[in-house]
Amino acid sequence: MQQLDELSDDDLIGVYRVEDRSVPHLRANFVSSLDGAVEIDGQSKALSSDSDSRVFSMIRRLADVVLVGAGTIRDEGYRPLRLSAASRSWRTAQGLPENPTLAIVSSRLELSPVNPVFQSAERPIVITHEASPPDRREALAEVADLVVLGAAEVDLTAVLQELAGRGMPQILCEGGPHLLGALTIADLVDELCLALAPLLAGPGSGRITAGLPTTLTRQLKLATLLTASDDYLFFRYLRES
């Protein structure tokens, strides 16, 4: 167990970096209350803290692409990804683009082309399937790179292959629960980074995963555990190879 507050940013990068960036890797990053809540009043903001923001931004620094469900874009009010100056210069020094690409998974395409997330020179990727509404696809193709994978539902295995094929093997899933549920059912999660917030949120919220029940389970192995002075815990669990 390590103390987050004693780690420099470089140390922290050392905790979260993968050995070989060229090997496709799906990392999910979530924050939860002690009693398992994924949101408070519809957002994760009240679950977060300074230490959580620090770890969150270091994890983002390492990503080629940030993969999110359309629900998270809508509920969390996502904006174009623009990392801190320190993160951008760190990435440039590593030969990476200044910011990771944003990739949004959606079935219904209930996303307005004027959503702030599309107001950037760096066009996000919108990933959908063949049965999604063609008129919405056409409208979103004006502001994003439209990728169609799967007949009646998004083929998530193909999504990871597509992103790796576009030179983005390091995939960070920032949610939400339905996307994590689908990735879990497809057994595609290589790593879960979980921040545990020291609070009881009470009944009402869902968990970090959602969707149809499954009997599938996936054993993960604890890689690191950080403690922070604000009583947050940061777990990093990896799929056993």
Distances (CA, A) of 202 to 52, 110, 150, 177: 21, 30, 38, 18
Q: How many residues bind ligand NAP (CB under 6 A)?
A: 32
In this complex, which beta carbon is closest to ligand NAP, that of residue 96 or of residue 103?
103
Site string for ligand NAP, 99-128 (x = CB under 6 A): ------xxxxxx------------------
Contact 189, 25 (CB under 8 A): no
Distances (CA, A) of 197 to 75, 162, 225, 229: 20, 34, 14, 12
Site string for ligand NAP, 184-223 (x = CB under 6 A): --------------------------x-------------
What's the CA angle centered on 189, arms 183 and 195, to 5 degrees?
A: 105
**Using rule CB under 6 A, residue 133 touches ligand NAP:** no
Report how far Cα 226 is from the mean position of its chain's Cα atoms: 20
**Residues 10-39 contacting ligand NAP, CB under 6 A:** 30-31, 38-39
The one-letter amino acid code at 217 reads T
**Using rule CB under 6 A, residue 162 touches ligand NAP:** no
In this complex, which beta carbon is closest to ligand NAP, that of residue 96 or of residue 127?
127
Using CB under 6 A, list all residues that contact ligand NAP. 30-31, 38-39, 42-44, 47, 68-72, 75-76, 105-110, 153-154, 156, 174-179, 182, 210
